[in-house]
């Protein structure tokens, strides 16, 4: 790694799903700007993200968002040491917009290009507000597309302990929310309505994946909720939306906490972090805080704005890649199925 004395300023870009985002980040931890143009209202009309619409909107917004990020940071392109961009995983047409914009800016300015893994970005969001956090630590990544239990061994070095076998945690939240009539995006709505529900009202299953204590499976839980709703309908029993939401949420949280604490204890780790959109779930955060406190483990979590997709996290991850000497060529492509640890 190169010397840490030099200050490294990165323009970061993120367009893997439905947020067009750009940020300016210094030394991986100081965020000068974090601009997010969300398309959520548009996709809400369709009950979920429509990939074609996402790509079109990214194209419309990307230049404006990059300019705003530089302006808010009170910097010009000439002040940038690198351009970092998410190149996977995500929606291919959405990723392509960010990758193409980053390549164009890099080519025109001669500023080095760094491709960043989206999940590495989510994990690195923890570095921004926790200046003391350094690897190694265990991280639970729970988003709309991913559920991973990871050991962060070094900056940019990961060992995946477990992953979901079917639906991601956020996907389960979104599908259950739709089934109980809460609409899209489901996670924050279930979080909110659960506060007035009884989490013990309905005994939904806590799925175990037989051969791995770290893997997750949420599709069985989703089916259990759908079965419960069907049987209520057949019996003519009115459902209590808040009780269903709270009971479902508790089932997800219990499994996430149990697996996470098992990982922390098996790895003998004293630090634990969470990342991804679902990491802003209030029930999950308080259950993990209590579980960590009980075991004397330091618990790290980003603010909600840094849990959901943003470019500041890409700037944080990009910084550590930069220091390792990672630079990408103009043949960098969007890789929709990019796996963690497979980058470069
Ligand atoms: O990380 P993210 O913004 O995008 C992906 O990379 O997937 O995560 C979005 C997911 C959605 O499924 C959304 O419903 C979920 O995160 N989410 C939540 C909450 N806020 C967002 N799930 C549960 N509780 C929340 N408060
Ligand atoms: Zn994400």
The overall average pLDDT reported for the chain is 95
Please say if the pLDDT value at position 34 is more than 80: yes
Please indicate whether residue 302, judged by its CB atom, sits closer than 6 Å to ligand 1. no
pLDDT of residue 156: 93
For ligand 1, atom 14, which residue shows the shortest CA distance? Answer: 187
State the burial class of residue 294 (Cβ atoms within 10 Å of its Cβ: 0-12, 13-18, 19+).
exposed
SS3 per residue for 234-254: HHCCCCCHHHHHHHHHHHHHH
The CATH-assigned architecture of domain 9-125+307-323 is: 2-Layer Sandwich (3.30)
Find tokens 């709270």 and name the residue.
Answer: 246
* For range 207-233, the mean pLDDT: 92
Query: Which ranges in the chain are annotated with CATH 3.30.420.40?
Result: 9-125+307-323, 134-301
Is the CB–ligand 1 distance for residue 318 below 6 Å? no
Between 19 and 45, the higher pLDDT residue: 19
Ligand at minimal distance from the CA of 306 is 1
Given the CA of residue 170, which atom of ligand 1 is nearest to it? 12
What's the confidence (pLDDT) of residue 341? 77
Minimum-distance ligand 1 atom for the alpha carbon of 184: 14
pLDDT given at position 343:
53
At residue 161, what are phi and psi to the nearest 5 degrees? -85, -40
CA 236 / ligand 2 centre spacing (Å): 39
Q: Is residue 342 pLDDT above 80, yes or no?
A: no
**Do strands 298-300 and 271-275 pair parallel, antiparallel, or not at all (unpaired)?**
parallel
**Is 89 a pocket residue for ligand 1 (Cβ < 6 Å)?**
no
Q: Yes or no: say if 131 and 146 are a contact pair by the CB < 8 Å rule.
A: no
pLDDT band at 4 (very low <50, low <70, confident <90, very high): low
Is the pLDDT at 3 greater than 70, yes or no? no
Domain 134-301 fold is Nucleotidyltransferase; domain 5 (3.30.420)
How many other C-beta atoms can be found within 10 angstroms of the C-beta atom of residue 286?
A: 11
Residue 32 and residue 10: Cα distance in Å, rounded?
10
């Amino acid at each position: 790694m190169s010397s840490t004395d030099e200050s490294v300023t990165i323009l970061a870009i993120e367009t893997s799903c439905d947020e067009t985002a750009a940020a300016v980040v210094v030394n991986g931890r100081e965020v000068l700007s974090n601009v997010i143009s969300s398309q959520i209202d548009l996709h809400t009309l369709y009950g979920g993200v429509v990939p074609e619409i996402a790509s079109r909107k990214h194209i419309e917004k990307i230049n404006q968002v990059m300019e705003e990020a530089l302006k808010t940071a009170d910097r010009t392109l000439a002040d940038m040491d690198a351009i970092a961009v998410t190149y996977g995983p995500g929606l291919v047409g959405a990723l392509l917009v960010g990758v193409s914009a980053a390549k164009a800016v890099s080519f025109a300015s001669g500023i080095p290009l760094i491709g960043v893994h989206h999940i590495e970005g989510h994990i690195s969001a923890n570095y921004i507000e926790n200046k003391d956090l350094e690897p190694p630590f265990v991280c639970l990544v729970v988003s709309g597309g991913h559920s991973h239990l990871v050991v962060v061994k070094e900056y940019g070095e990961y060992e995946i302990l477990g992953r979901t076998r079917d639906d991601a945690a956020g996907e389960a939240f979104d599908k259950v929310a739709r089934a109980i009539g809460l609409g899209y995006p489901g996670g924050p709505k279930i979080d909110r309505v659960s506060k007035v529900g009884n989490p013990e009202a309905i005994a939904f299953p806590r799925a175990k994946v037989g051969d791995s204590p770290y893997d997750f499976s949420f599709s069985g839980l989703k089916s259990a909720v759908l079965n419960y709703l069907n049987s209520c309908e057949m019996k003519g029993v009115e459902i209590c939306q808040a009780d269903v939401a709270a009971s479902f949420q508790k089932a997800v949280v219990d499994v996430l906490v149990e697996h996470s604490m098992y990982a922390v204890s098996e790895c003998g780790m004293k630090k634990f972090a969470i990342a991804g959109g679902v990491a802003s779930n209030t029930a999950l955060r308080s259950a993990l805080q209590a579980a960590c406190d009980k075991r004397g483990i330091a618990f790290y979590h980003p603010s909600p704005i840094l849990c959901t997709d943003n470019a500041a996290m890409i700037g944080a991850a990009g910084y550590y890649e930069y220091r390792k000497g990672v630079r990408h060529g103009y043949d960098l492509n969007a890789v929709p199925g990019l796996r963690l640890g497979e980058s470069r």
